[in-house]
Structure 1
Amino acid sequence: MRRALRSAVAGLFLAALATSAPAQELAERLGAPRAVREMVLRSTTDLSVMRPVIEAFLETRPGVAVRYEQWLSNNLYDVTRADCAAGGRAADLVISSAVHHMVDLVNQGCATRHVSAETAALPAALGWRDELWGVTREPAVMVYNRDLVPPEDVPHSRFDLLDLLRDDDRPYAGRVATYDIEASGLGYLFAYADSLEATTFGGLMEAFGRADTVATCCSAEIMAGVLAGDYLIAYNIIGSYALELAARTPRLGIVAPGDYTLILSRGAMIPKGAADGALGAEMVDFLLSPAGRAALGAADLLTDLEDLVASGAVDVDAGPSLLRPVELSPKLLVASDRQKRMLFSARWRAAFPQATGGPAADR
C-alpha cells in the first residue's frame, strides 16, 4: 500500500512538473536540412551571440544539425530539473550563466560524466566531477552613458559608485539599475558572489535603497535604458553583451571595477537522458579546443581584460590579482540552499521594495 501511495504521489509530482514546465524564449534549427544527427542545445546565451560559435562547430560536421533553444536562466534550471526527475529524454547539452544552478543539478545526479583531453586540461576551478565545465570567460562590469555621465562621475570602483549614490544632491537617484535577483539567476549569483567578496556589499545595499536604484530584468533591457537615458549607470552587467553592444554604440561606456572584477564561466553539462550525449560531449570538446576558443573569443564570450583595456573597450583594468573567478565547485551549493536564499532575498528585497518581480529574464 505504501509503495503504491508513493508511486501515485511521484506520478502526480512529475505530472505537475510537466504541466507547469516553462517554455523557451525561442528555438531555431541550425545546420544541413538533411543532417542525420540533431543535437538539442539549451542555453541562456542569446542566439545572436552564440550563432557564429555553433556555425563554427558545424563547419566540419555536414551530417550534424543543432536545435538551439534559448531559455531564461531560472526557467532553464526548472526544465532541466524536471527532465531529470522524470527520467525521460533530455537535452543533449545545457549551457547556463547561472552556474550555481548547474552545480546544484550536478549534485542532484542530473549530469553525465565525460572525460577528454580538452576537459582534463581545464583548471580545477572550471570543472567539477567530470560533469560540469566552464566554457567561457566573461567579466561582470558597470556600464554608463558616455553622453550623460561626466568623466569625473564615471565610477571606477564600487567605492566610487557608493560615493555617487550617497551624494546629498542625489543626481543619480532613480538613475542606476541592476538585475532583479529574484527574477534573474545570474543576477542572484553575482549579488551572492559580491556578498562574499566585497567589504562594500552592505553599504551598497543600503545606498541602492536610499537612492531608489532600479532592480529589473534583462541585460538588453537595462542597457537599452542606459542608452536612452532612463538610467545613467548599470551595475553587475555581464560583459559579453555589453561589449557586443558597445562595439555598435560607442555611447555605452564599460568599466571593469578596479576594486575587484567577478569573472563568470558559463557552465556546460550533458544531462542524463540525453538522446545523443556523445554529440553533446563533442560540442563540449569543441568549445574547449583552440578552434572553439577562437569562435568564443570572436563572440566576446572569452575575454581578456588586459586586451580590452589596451583596445579602449573597457575603461579600467582590475589587474590579475583583483580578478575573482566564480569557481565551479560545491561552494556554490550554499547559494542554492533554500534557507540561505530566503534570507538573502529578504535582505535584498528590503533594499529594492519596488523591484519589478518580473519573469526570470537574465542570460
Structure 2
Amino acid sequence: MPAKTDRSSVRRWCLILCLLVLSASACALEDVREFGVENASRTLLVRGTTDIEAFAPVMLAFLETSVDTRIRYEQWGSNALFEKTDNQCRQSEAGADVVISSAIDQQVKLVNDGCAQAHRSVYTRRLPEHAIWRDELFGITLEPAVLVYNREQLSEDEVPLSRFDLIDRLRPNDSRFAGRVATYDIEKSGLGYLFAFADAQQASTFGALLEAFGRTGAVATCCSAELIDAVAEGRFLVAYNVLGSYALARAATDSRIGIVAPQDYTLTLSRGAMIPKGTRQIEIARAFLDFLLSDNGRAVLSQSHLIATFDDSDTADFPSLEGAIPVLRPIPLSPTLLVGLDQMKRELFIRQWREKMVLLPDENE
C-alpha cells in the first residue's frame, strides 16, 4: 500500500527547496510519493514526467513481485528532469535509479552523452526497432497525440477529424473556432516541442496549420491537464496535439471530453525509460524495467491508458470511423531526434512558432 502523503507538506517542501537553491529545475519537482513497506531493505528512486495517479498502479503491481522494495517516485516537468539528470551525469553524481520521460528527444541526448547504462533481457529484445536505442533507452508506452474537443459545444459535423479539417474550420473570417483552439507552449513543454517539431518534419500541412493558428489567435499554454480542463469547461473548443493517455483517462470520467486520433496521421510516442549510469540500485532498476516491458506490466500500463489500442473492436481506445483506422507514425528513439535539439534550429523554430501563437501566462509564475 502507498504511504499516506500530506500533499500540502509536499508543496511546502518543494517551495522551500526552490527558495533555498533558486533553481528553476528544483521548482519543477511537482510531486513526491512513496510506495511499499516502510522497513524495506532497498529503495528504488524513480524520476518521471508521468502523473503519479497514472503511474501509481504500475508501481504497486511491481511491488507485488518485489515485496522487500520501496519506491520513491518524483514527478518532474520534462525540461527540468532533463536538466537535473544531465547535471548529475556531468558531475558523476548518484541520482535516480530509473528516469522515465515523455520528452524522448532529451532522453536520446542523455544516452548519446553517455549518461545511461546498457540493459539486455528477453523483454528488451522483443521491442520494435523504433522503441529501443543502443540497449540503453527503452520505449515503455504507446501514446498518441490527439485532438481533444468539447462534446457539448461541437456538433458531430463540426468535429475536426484531421489536420485538414482543422484548417478548414479556421478558414472562415467569422470562424467560431477563432481564439478557441489551444496547444502546448512549446518553449515551456518538452513534450509540446517534440510533437510540434515532429509535425514540421512529417506533414505538408504544418505550414498551413501554423498560419491558420496565427491568423485566428490560437492559444499556447502549459500542460496536458490545463489544456483538457479548459476544453471541458468550454474555454476552448479544441486542443491540438494533446497526449492521448491523459485525454483518455479524463474522458473515462468526463462526458464533456471527446477525442480524435487524426485520420491523416497520428503521431505516437513511446515514453522513454533509462537506467542512469550513477544508479545505486542497478539490479532492482533492471527488474523494474523488465516488469514495465513484461506482459503483466503492459497490462497495467494499458489499464492506465498509457498503452493505447487502435483497431475496429468495441474495446479499442479509438473505434474506427467507418472502418478507417488512423495512420500511425511512431516517433522513433533514434539520433534523428537530436536535430530538433540543435540550439540554433530550436531557437529559430520556437521564434517562428511564437510569432503565430497567443501565449497565456504561466499560472505558477
TM-score if structure 1 supplies the norm length?
A: 0.90
Tell me the distance in 2 between the aligned counterparts of 1:133 and 1:327. Answer: 11
2:64 is aligned with 1:59: yes
2:356 is aligned with 1:355: no
CA gap of 1:182–1:194, structure 2 versus 1, over 3 A, is same
Alignment match, 2:138 = 133
2:318 to 314, 317, 342: 314
Gaps of at least 5 residues in structure 1 are 1-17
2:157 is aligned with 1:174: no
Deviations 1:274-307 (A, max 9, x none): 1112211111100011110111111111111216
Q: Is the 8 Å Cα contact of residues 47 and 98 (structure 2) preserved in structure 1?
A: yes
Tell me the distance in 2 between the aligned counterparts of 1:225 and 1:356. Answer: 12
- Fraction of identical pairs, as percent: 49
CA gap of 1:314–1:120, structure 2 versus 1, over 3 A, is closer
Alignment match, 1:102 = 107
Aligned length: 342
Alignment match, 1:282 = 287
Deviations 1:244-268 (A, max 9, x none): 0000011100000000000110000
Tell me the distance in 2 between the aligned counterparts of 1:107 and 1:357. Answer: 34
CA gap of 1:321–1:139, structure 2 versus 1, over 3 A, is closer
2:129 to 98, 118, 124: 124
CA gap of 1:216–1:268, structure 2 versus 1, over 3 A, is same
Q: Is the 8 Å Cα contact of residues 255 and 316 (structure 1) preserved in structure 2?
A: no
CA gap of 1:360–1:294, structure 2 versus 1, over 3 A, is farther
RCO comparison, higher one (Cα < 8 Å, 6+)? 1
Q: Is the 8 Å Cα contact of residues 254 and 313 (structure 1) preserved in structure 2?
A: no
Q: Which amino acid aligns with 2:257?
A: L
Deviations 1:67-94 (A, max 9, x none): 0000011111110111111111110000
Tell me the distance in 1 between the aligned counterparts of 2:364 and 2:194. Answer: 13
1:328 to 320, 323, 333: 333
Tell me the distance in 1 between the aligned counterparts of 2:204 and 2:86. Answer: 35
2:16 is aligned with 1:37: no
- 1:310 CA drift (Å): 3.3
CA gap of 1:36–1:336, structure 2 versus 1, over 3 A, is same
2:308 is aligned with 1:303: yes
Tell me the distance in 1 between the aligned counterparts of 2:150 and 2:48. Answer: 29
Q: Per residue, is there more helix in 1 or in 2?
A: 1
Q: Is the 8 Å Cα contact of residues 182 and 360 (structure 1) preserved in structure 2?
A: no
Tell me the distance in 2 between the aligned counterparts of 1:77 and 1:46. Answer: 16
